[in-house]
A and B are shown apart, each in its own frame.
Chain A
Amino acid sequence: MGAKANRLDEALQVAETALLPLVAVLMTASLFCVFRVVPDEVTMGAVQRIFYFHVPSAWVAFLGFFVVFAASILYLATRRLLWDTVAHAAAELGVLFCAIVLVTGPIWARPVWGTWWTWEARLTTTLVLELVFVAYLVLRTQAESRLQAARLAAVMGIVGFLDVPLIYFSVKIWRGHHPIVFKSSGGEGLEPVMLKTFMLCMLTFTVLFLLLLALRIRVGLLDESLAELREREPSAGA
């Protein structure tokens, strides 16, 4: 690995070493709060606790897609493959957390509304975004070379993110201005302990995202080094 790459790898390892215990602590605290501290919600009962994972996941997915957007622009401007690795990592995490939203949503919906799926505005938007960024990942696999994948994915990353507000807006119009369920139910926004727990979970998930991002970027960089080594000595390694 080059000297620069080494420094980057070290920096990422430092970040991981710092973040891992932090995530552990925050996650433990969050789980404790969600399952032990916070009272049952008035109308929905115990299942409402999913909200503390559902919404932060959506936030993290959005954060991921924003990182894809920023990294894509940086890649096209600088042509440094590092930015492409960042974009790839962030897209994978975005897709993952979107999937979590799409799974926790129905788990929440079933007991509350008696149906697994509902074409409610935010869930539908999440589904469409998931499809957009899954297509982004598929594009990467179908490109003919690393450079082509980086370039085309960067264009798609920018276009996809620009589409996000348009998609959100259009789905909202489609569904009419229905209030989002958890707002209408009781004093959720007002109960201090619920709000604090919610903010804790948001923080936890954000830090978790950063940790996973650092890890995934480092894996991506190691992959590249491996490919380079293989190129130089095709006989070495499996």
Chain B
Amino acid sequence: MVPRSAALTICAKDLRQELRTRESFTSAFFFALLVQVVFSFAFDFQSLGLGFEEVGAGVVWITLTFSSILSLQNSFLIEREKNCLAALALCPCDPSAVFLGKLLANFLFVLAVQAPILPISALFFGYDLSGVLPGLCLVVTVNAAGFSALGTLFSAVSVRTRRSELLLPLLLLPAATPVVIWGVKATRLCLAGRALGAYGTLVALSACFGAVFIVAGILLFDYVLEE
């Protein structure tokens, strides 16, 4: 079977499941909201006189990082139930198709959560996103892709181990450092109203990061899917 069709079939299956139950989205969305609220209490930006331009980048990326972990974890937990992972290993498609299908679904879930969260974040700070929206969307999309690639791979690695919920963030967060750093920096420049040229290199670097780990995932997923 052509890997692309198998990947799309898997992605469609995940989307269908999610639409039916909305469990990934709901937990990730509310967790993201909670992170925002806790941050506001912890740092009291208003009294410090800090606006979205200064701290927004950090808030966006901390929110994305931690809330995405929930949906990334769920991605393979639903396969572990009833041993559907073995069923996927038995399908005659390339194992990389499973990786790509899962990656695509995870990427869409991350974006689905960020889509409402970003305006809400801006709202909490009284910031108007309209000017920077295209740039911000680009930065978030590219970095979310890299983060999802790594996250999908690590989620599959950790799902069969004990304490898999602990292992995923432990593995993912340090390894995702480049995406967080480049994402934050690019977001800060974008929110400060700078033109694309100012942070274009950073976006390109994030894209490279994504490409490296998508390729790594494609090559290594066979070994991850094995029992």
When the two chains form the complex, which single residue of B175, B178, B209, B223 contacts A151, counting CB atoms closer than 8 Å?
B223
Q: Is the CB of B167 within 8 A of A155?
A: no
Q: How far is the CA of A5 from the CA of B154 in the complex (A)?
A: 33
Q: How far is the CA of A142 from the CA of B160 in the complex (A)?
A: 9
For residue B170, CB closer than 8 A to chain A, the reply is yes
Contact with A along B156-171 (1 / 0, CB 8 A): 0110111110010011
Main secondary structure of the interface of A (DSSP, over half): helix
| Residue picked from B162, B167, B178, B227, most chain A C-beta under 10 Å | B178
Count of chain B residues with a beta carbon within 8 Å of a chain A beta carbon: 32
Q: Is the CB of A152 within 8 A of B161?
A: yes
When the two chains form the complex, which single residue of B162, B181, B185 contacts A142, counting CB atoms closer than 8 Å?
B162
Least Cβ distance of A71 to chain B in Å?
14
Q: Is the CB of A171 within 8 A of B226?
A: no
Q: Which residues from B are CB-within-8-Å of A174?
A: 181, 185
For residue A46, CB closer than 8 A to chain B, the reply is no
Q: How far is the CA of A162 from the CA of B220 in the complex (A)?
A: 13
The residues in A between 128 and 173 inclusive whose CB is less than 8 angstroms from any CB of B are: 128-129, 131-132, 135-136, 138-139, 142-144, 148, 151-152, 154-156, 158-160, 162-163, 166-167, 169-171, 173
For residue A55, CB closer than 8 A to chain B, the reply is no
Q: Which residues from A are CB-within-8-Å of B175?
A: 132, 135, 159-160, 163, 167
Q: Is the CB of B161 within 8 A of A143?
A: yes
For residue A76, CB closer than 8 A to chain B, the reply is yes
Q: Which residues from A are CB-within-8-Å of B181?
A: 170-171, 173-174
Q: Is the CB of B157 within 8 A of A139?
A: yes
Q: Which residues from A are CB-within-8-Å of B220?
A: 155, 158-159
Count of chain A residues with a beta carbon within 8 Å of a chain B beta carbon: 30
Q: How far is the CA of A98 from the CA of B203 in the complex (A)?
A: 30
Q: How far is the CA of A151 from the CA of B221 in the complex (A)?
A: 11
Q: Which residues from B are CB-within-8-Å of A152?
A: 157, 160-161, 224
Residue ranges of B at the interface with A (Cβ–Cβ < 8 Å): 150, 153-154, 157-158, 160-164, 167, 170-171, 173-175, 177-178, 181-182, 185, 202, 205, 209, 212-213, 216, 220, 223-224, 226-227
The 7 closest A-B pairs by CB, nearest first: A170-B178, A131-B174, A142-B161, A170-B181, A166-B178, A135-B170, A132-B174
Residue ranges of A at the interface with B (Cβ–Cβ < 8 Å): 76, 128-129, 131-132, 135-136, 138-139, 142-144, 148, 151-152, 154-156, 158-160, 162-163, 166-167, 169-171, 173-174
**Contacts beyond the supplied A132-B175, A139-B161: 5 A-B pairs with Cβ under 8 Å:** A131-B173, A144-B162, A152-B160, A155-B223, A174-B181
